[in-house]
């Protein structure tokens, strides 16, 4: 018995996709709030809440990128988003530059800033747009779960933060969501081919 699919951006969300979405949301929630579970400070919980909102914004970003993928090329979308960001942050950057002694900034810091600009603002957007154009938005959205997962691993391995049971369960949920979502997507074309051949 099939459950009735819901149309979102002309994509059909099936039962296994709903399961993967629920697992992903639960996993991201556990990873995001794990750091504040043993803390009473309201500031820590508020920070975790802001990170959680950022993850939701990233998921919406993926959906909108999928909607534009048929009209604008990945290179055009990457260029457009960087130009828009430039104009949005330029007033703040000018204000900071006027207060900063640029000659006192070490060469290593300049190299790191250039590396960060290329990887975070150019290559990552370009690769993401190329990938979103070839898969469904629901599948691409699941991979946003890798961001809090990788951030949690880096914080534990390199920043010395505690690894809690919530981290472990959340990571398992996110990985399970990705496996369920991508496996179901791979099986869907086979089912469609079977239906067409039988017709």
Per-residue pLDDT tens for 160-170?
877 878 878 88
Q: Is residue 1 part of a domain?
A: no
Residues 66 and 148 in one domain: yes
Domain count, the chain: 2
Q: In angstroms, rounded to a whole number, what is the distance separating the alpha carbons of residues 67 and 132?
A: 10
Q: How many CB atoms lie within 10 A of CB 199?
A: 5
Residues 106 and 60 in one domain: no
In the three-class reduction of DSSP (H, G, I as helix; E, B as strand; rest coil), residue 7 is classed as: strand
Residues 118 and 42 in one domain: no
pLDDT of residue 190: 45
| Parent domain of 99 | 71-132
Ranges of the chain with pLDDT below 50: 1-8, 39-40, 189-199
- Where would I find the H helices in 69-163? 74-99, 107-118, 124-132, 137-142, 146-158
* Residues in contact with 143: Cβ distance below 8 Å, sequence separation at least 6, in sequence order: 178
Residues 167 and 80 in one domain: no
pLDDT of residue 140: 72
Residues 26 and 58 in one domain: yes
pTM (predicted TM-score):
0.60
Q: Is residue 105 part of a domain?
A: yes
pLDDT of residue 134: 82
């Amino acid at each position: 018995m099939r459950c009735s699919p819901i149309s979102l951006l002309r994509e059909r969300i099936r039962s296994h996709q709903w399961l993967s979405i629920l697992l992903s949301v639960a996993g991201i929630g556990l990873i995001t709030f794990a750091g504040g579970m043993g803390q009473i400070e309201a500031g820590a919980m508020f920070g975790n809440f802001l990170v959680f909102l950022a993850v939701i914004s990233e998921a919406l970003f993926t959906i909108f990128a999928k909607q534009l993928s048929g009209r604008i090329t990945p290179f055009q979308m990457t260029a457009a988003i960087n130009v828009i960001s430039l104009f949005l942050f330029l007033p703040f950057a000018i204000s900071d530059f006027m207060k900063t002694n640029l000659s006192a900034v070490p060469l290593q810091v300049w190299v790191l800033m250039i590396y960060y600009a290329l990887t975070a603002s150019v290559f990552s957007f370009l690769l993401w747009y190329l990938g979103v154009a070839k898969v469904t938005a629901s599948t691409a959205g699941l991979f946003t779960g890798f961001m809090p997962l990788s951030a949690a691993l880096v914080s534990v391995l390199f920043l010395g933060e505690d690894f809690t049971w919530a981290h472990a369960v959340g990571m398992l949920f996110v990985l399970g969501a990705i496996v369920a979502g991508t496996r179901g997507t791979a099986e869907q074309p086979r089912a469609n081919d079977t239906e067409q051949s039988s017709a």
